[in-house]
Amino acid sequence: MNIEQLGYLGINAQQPEAFSTYATDILGLQPVRGDGDRRYFRMDDHHHRLIVEPAEVNGGAYYGWQVADSDALTAAADEVQRSGVEVTAATQEELEVRRVSSMVHFQDPGGHRVELYAGPSRTSDGFTSPRGIPGFVAGDLGLGHIVLLSDKFAETQKFYTDILGFDVSDYMIEKPFSAVFMRTNPRHHSIAIGDASFFGAPNILHHFLLEVEDPDDVGRSWDLVVERNVPVTMSIGRHTNDNMFSFYVESPAGVNTEFGSGGVLVDEDTWQACEIPGPDVWGHKH
Ligand SMILES: [Fe+2]
């Protein structure tokens, strides 16, 4: 199976209005007119990359992975079904909400809702950030990355590699927690699975990363976060594996956002998956 990119991310928010202000004023995403209370946010030429759904419980809702076309989607859905996982075709309403031409969904072993889709809606209007951020690193690399916690760690990791075709970029064992970082395009990881037992947390979306082109926009955003008293989860730092220069804040939907720049791209000819000694070169203090 060839998944091209992490195309969209759905988040449930008890306070969608507060999340909306966070997405535009802090993260610098462009709001797109939605339907009803649902909100869409852009970061490149895709109609949206983030969908915020009003909900009673905060957290990650669904994760959209793009394949080349409807034939690739049919083949991918068959492959998942053959592995013994129940696959459901999207309703017309779901297709309209996601603005895609076709989609199927199923659950990973941790219960996270995975959506495979083809035919995203795009726009020729240029991206305009309400905060004046010139550009996000997205396009064919996808919207960034997600980190999901799973209490079926080994099984979930195997599901993403063996069934969905992700490649392991590197992994961390118990120091300070266990996690596997996986790619589906040159971005070092589009998804990481963390062992939920180390976090004392259930199967949740731990964070999503947005990457800006200019590292100074990480610095400017950090100033803004401090000035506006946005809850900081981890201070500015640099990761050992993807080299991301970033900080983490808590969104109004509970889910953390990693806001960074400078992530490495993997060269398939030379990259070797290995164990990393820990997550940080410096910083990222709690
Ligand atoms: Fe991250």
Domain boundaries, the chain: 5-120, 141-283
Question: What is residue 110's predicted lDDT score, i.e. its pLDDT?
Answer: 96
Residues 146/50, Cβ–Cβ less than 8 Å: no
Helical H segments across 40-103, by residue range: 70-82, 92-98
Ligand 1 centroid vs 146 CA: distance in angstroms?
7
Regarding beta strands 274-275 and 167-172, do their DSSP bridges make them parallel or antiparallel, or are they unpaired? parallel
pLDDT tens for each residue of the chain, 286 residues long:
999 999 999 999 999 999 999 999 999 999 998 878 899 999 999 999 999 999 999 999 999 999 999 999 999 999 999 999 999 999 999 999 999 999 999 999 999 999 999 999 999 999 999 999 999 999 999 999 999 999 999 999 999 999 999 999 999 999 899 999 999 999 999 999 999 999 888 999 999 999 999 999 999 999 999 999 999 999 999 999 999 999 999 999 999 999 999 999 999 999 999 999 999 999 999 8
Question: What is residue 88's predicted lDDT score, i.e. its pLDDT?
Answer: 98
Ligand 1 centroid vs 97 CA: distance in angstroms?
27
Regarding beta strands 232-239 and 280-283, do their DSSP bridges make them parallel or antiparallel, or are they unpaired? antiparallel
CATH architecture for segment(s) 141-283? Roll (3.10)
Ligand 1 centroid vs 84 CA: distance in angstroms?
30
CATH class of 5-120: alpha beta
Please give the structure tokens belonging to residue 261. 């720049």
In whole angstroms, what is the distance from residue 234 CA to residue 250 CA? 9
Question: What is residue 33's predicted lDDT score, i.e. its pLDDT?
Answer: 86
Ligand 1 centroid vs 181 CA: distance in angstroms?
9
176 preceded by cis ω (within 30°)?
A: yes
Question: What is residue 36's predicted lDDT score, i.e. its pLDDT?
Answer: 80
Ligand 1 centroid vs 214 CA: distance in angstroms?
18
Ligand 1 centroid vs 35 CA: distance in angstroms?
30
Residues 113/63, Cβ–Cβ less than 8 Å: yes
Ligand 1 centroid vs 145 CA: distance in angstroms?
7
Question: What is residue 139's predicted lDDT score, i.e. its pLDDT?
Answer: 97
Model pTM? 0.97
Phi, psi (degrees; rounded to nearest 5) at 171: -155, 165
Ligand 1 centroid vs 207 CA: distance in angstroms?
7
The yes-or-no answer to whether 5-120 and 141-283 have a common fold is yes
Question: What is residue 286's predicted lDDT score, i.e. its pLDDT?
Answer: 86
Instruction: Select from 61, 242, 65 the least CA-distant residue to 137.
Output: 242
Ligand 1 centroid vs 283 CA: distance in angstroms?
14
Report the length, in residues, of the chain: 286
